[in-house]
Each structure stands twice: as C-alpha cells, then as structure tokens.
Amino acid sequence: MSSKKMKETPEPFSGYQKFVIAILAILQFTIILDFMVLSPLGVIVMEELQIKPSQFGMVVSGYAFSAGISGLLAAGFADRFDRKKILMFFYVGFILGTFFCALAPNYHLLLVARIVTGLFGGVIGSISFAIITDLFSMQKRGRVMGFVQMAFAASQILGIPIGLYLASKFGWHSPFWMIAVFATIVGVFIYIYLKPINEHLKIRSDHNPFVHLVRTLSKRDYIRGFLATVLLATGGFMLMPFGSAFTTNNMGIDIADLPTIYLITGLFSIAMGPLIGKWSDRSGKFNIFIFGTVVSITLVAIYTQMDTTPLWLVIALNVLLFVGISARMITSSALLTAIPEPQDRGAFMSINSSIQQLSGGVASALAGMIVIQADNGVLLRYDILGYVVIGSMLVALWLMHLLNRHIQRTSNTGA
C-alpha cells in the first residue's frame, strides 16, 4: 500500500538536487550541440576548406569513433575517483578540444581537433548518468532523465539555428567559439557548486583497472543491458541519417519547410520530456517503455510507407514518433541506471556509452547499405529499413522485460 502511495506522490527534489539536474542538463546540451552542429555546417566547411564529402564524413565520424574508444579506455578507471573530479577532467578536455576546433585552419587540424573532442566528450554522458544514479533514488530517476534528455531537443531547436546563424555571419569557426565559451562558464559553475561525489569509493575494490573492465564486461545482467543499448541505438541511428532526405524526396515537403518541422517537433520534445519522466515514476518505467515502443513501432510502420504527404500530417507524424522515441529513451536510461552495483556504476556507464556510440556508427552504415536512391532522388527500400528497426525494437522490448524483472527481484531482496 505504501509503495503504491509513493508512486502516486513522488518525492519532491531538494534545492541542491534541482541545481544538479539543471547543471547536468545544460552540460549535456553543450556536449550534444558540439556533436550535432558540425553536420549542418557541412556545405560551408567543405567549400572553405576545399575538402571532399568523404573527408567531411571522416571529420564527423572521427568524433563518434574516438568517443566510443575513450569510453572503453576510461571504464576501468571510472569508479576509482571522485565523480566530480573525473567529470571536471573530461569536461576541461572537451572544452579545449572545442577551442581547437574553433582555431583549426585546415582539414587535418580540424580532424585532429574533432578526435580530441570526442575522446573527452564521449565519456561525459556516462559520468553524468553515474552521478544521477549516485544522487537520486530510483523513484526520482524518471523525472531526472526527463529533464536531462530535454538537452537533445533544446540543442535541435535553440543551438543549431543559432550556430547556423553565427556561421553565416562570422564564418564556420564561430559556433565552436560560442560552444567553448558557454561550456567554460558551465565548467566554472560545476567546479564551484557541485559537491564531491565519492560514496562509491567507500566500497573497496582490489581490482586493477583492466580486471575491473573485464569483470564489468562479463556479468550476465550487465551484458543484457549492453545488448539492449545496441538495439536501442540501432533503432534511432538507422532512421535518423535519412530522415530529411525521405521527407523532401519521398513525402514531397519543400526543403524550406524542414526548419518548421524540426522546430515544432523539438518544442513538443522539450514539453513532453519532464511529463514522460513524471509518468514513468508514477506508473512504472517499464510500463511507459512499453507505451513508447508501441507508439514508435506504429509510427515507423506508417512513416516509412508514406509518399506525397501534406505538411501538417508530416509534422503530426514526427511529433508522435518523437513522443514514442522520447518515452523509450527516458525510461530505458532510468532502468539501465539500476542495473550496475555501486562499485561498478562508472565502468558500466562508460562501457554503455561507448557501445551506444559505436552501435550508432554501425547502424548508420548498415542503413546506408539497405537504402538506395533513385535517379530522381526518391529513396528506395526505406520500408525495409523500417521493418529492420521494428524488429530491433521488439527484441529490445524483450531484453528490457528481462532487465526490469531482474531490477524488481534485486530491489525486493534488498528491501
């Protein structure tokens, strides 16, 4: 009875917890914006640096792959330090990497700068999730994830348009100056106001970093979590690279209307994030994950079959699809934080983040092998891509069911 009551009236956040949520959300905003802003700058960068599309692709993917590698390298050390200190170390490295991007005069130095930025930036999300797990009870994590995941939508509707405006006025370096300066201010706030996070250090571990990494990679329930992450990343990264091309070439939407679609979708995502988090804390995270999966599967099945479509219907479909995706992202993130033991949280989150980055790269490559483009620009076999995504969502649902059962079992025995 008491547990039911707790679900209906979630615990309020303290003032310090509100600060932590806000600073982690803003931090995520800077990381995601830095990753996303380069793609829209492609036309300008390729022209100014006189590089080929394949070279620009290397610049974009260099960040993702270096981020994936750094996650694995950092995993063994992630639980051996105060989380505030390790967060500051990687965030300072990320800021310096972004400054190098702002200063890069040619292709080779820009490529190196992106690799450096990825090496540091790729670990920060996992550290943030470890901090959330350390500081917030499971009953609050849905709401926390809802607010932190708003960073994705905010970077889309606020950061990228501002970045493109600055690039058109002051050159392609200017968005990186903007991000680096803003991130420096955020870093100062973290250094001054974030308290040490070191409770996990009281749980002594005699394992050296390599043994700790191998041990974390070999636990059965952890492996299920990693497999779920692979499938969750696959679902998102397979459709995303071809979304704008499908919308313009297959659905007949003018390219000038794309910003309107992204703006409205982003606004709904910002509004829905906290609500989804609150619902997941009240109704159960796995229940909302099921809801998100059903909505996503339905919309993917409809969306990937469409041809010429009016703008209002495209916007409606995009909004509903992102509601489903947001529900899956927020609830799966909250559920995955409950899997690792306290002494393994940093390592688990680092490996999980690395797997997410690498899976996204592989998924994009696989999607490129499935989809082909006709001479008139229309994308073919996009419906087949939709079936693959739906299949991955169904397997992910089964894996999340197993993980949720494990979480309930361990929480009951712990109680």
Helices 345-370, 382-414: crossing angle, 10 deg rounding: 160
The string of pLDDT tens digits covering residues 130-168 is 888 888 888 888 888 888 877 777 776 777 677 777 887
Residue 414 has pLDDT above 50, yes or no: no
Residue 98 has pLDDT above 50, yes or no: yes
Span 36-63, average pLDDT: 76
Instruction: Write down the mean pLDDT value for the chain.
Output: 83
Span 191-195, average pLDDT: 94
Residue 293's pLDDT band (cuts 50, 70, 90): very high
pLDDT at 297: 94
- In this structure, are residues 130 and 7 in contact, taking their beta carbons and an 8 Å threshold? no
Query: What's CA 253's distance to the chain center, in Å?
Result: 27
Span 398-406, average pLDDT: 90
Span 366-389, average pLDDT: 84
Q: How far apart are CA 193 and CA 27, in angstroms?
A: 14
The string of pLDDT tens digits covering residues 109-123 is 999 999 999 899 888
Residue 203 has pLDDT above 50, yes or no: yes
Of 63 and 21, more confident = 21
Residue 277's pLDDT band (cuts 50, 70, 90): confident
Beta carbons within 8 Å of 389's beta carbon, 6+ residues apart: 234, 235, 238, 239, 300
Residues above pLDDT 70, as percent of the chain: 90
Q: How far apart are CA 297 and CA 294, in angstroms?
A: 5
Beta carbons within 8 Å of 169's beta carbon, 6+ residues apart: none
Q: Which residues pair with 379 in a beta bridge?
A: 373
Residue 287's pLDDT band (cuts 50, 70, 90): very high
pLDDT at 10: 62
CB atoms within 10 A of CB 206: 6
- Helix H segments across 240-310? 243-249, 258-283, 285-303
The DSSP annotation for 101-154 comes to HHH--SHHHHHHHHHHHHHHHHHHHHHHHHHHHHHS-HHHHHHHHHHHTHHHHH
Residue 5 has pLDDT above 60, yes or no: no
Residue 386 has pLDDT above 70, yes or no: yes
Span 196-210, average pLDDT: 70
Q: How far apart are CA 124 and CA 358, in angstroms?
A: 16
Query: What's CA 273's distance to the chain center, in Å?
Result: 13
DSSP helix/strand/coil, 373: strand
Task: Catalogue all structural domains in the chain, each as residue range(s) with its CATH number.
Answer: 14-414 (1.20.1250.20)
Residue 415's pLDDT band (cuts 50, 70, 90): very low
Q: Mean pLDDT lowest for which of 166-180, 246-260, 302-316, 350-364?
A: 350-364
Residue 2 has pLDDT above 60, yes or no: no
Phi and psi angles of residue 105, each rounded to the nearest 5 degrees, phi first = -90, -15
pLDDT at 9: 54
pLDDT at 7: 45
Residue 103 has pLDDT above 90, yes or no: yes
Residue 230 has pLDDT above 70, yes or no: yes
Residue 208's pLDDT band (cuts 50, 70, 90): low
Residue 299 has pLDDT above 90, yes or no: yes
Residue 366's pLDDT band (cuts 50, 70, 90): confident
Span 194-210, average pLDDT: 73
Residue 382 has pLDDT above 50, yes or no: yes
Residues above pLDDT 90, as percent of the chain: 28
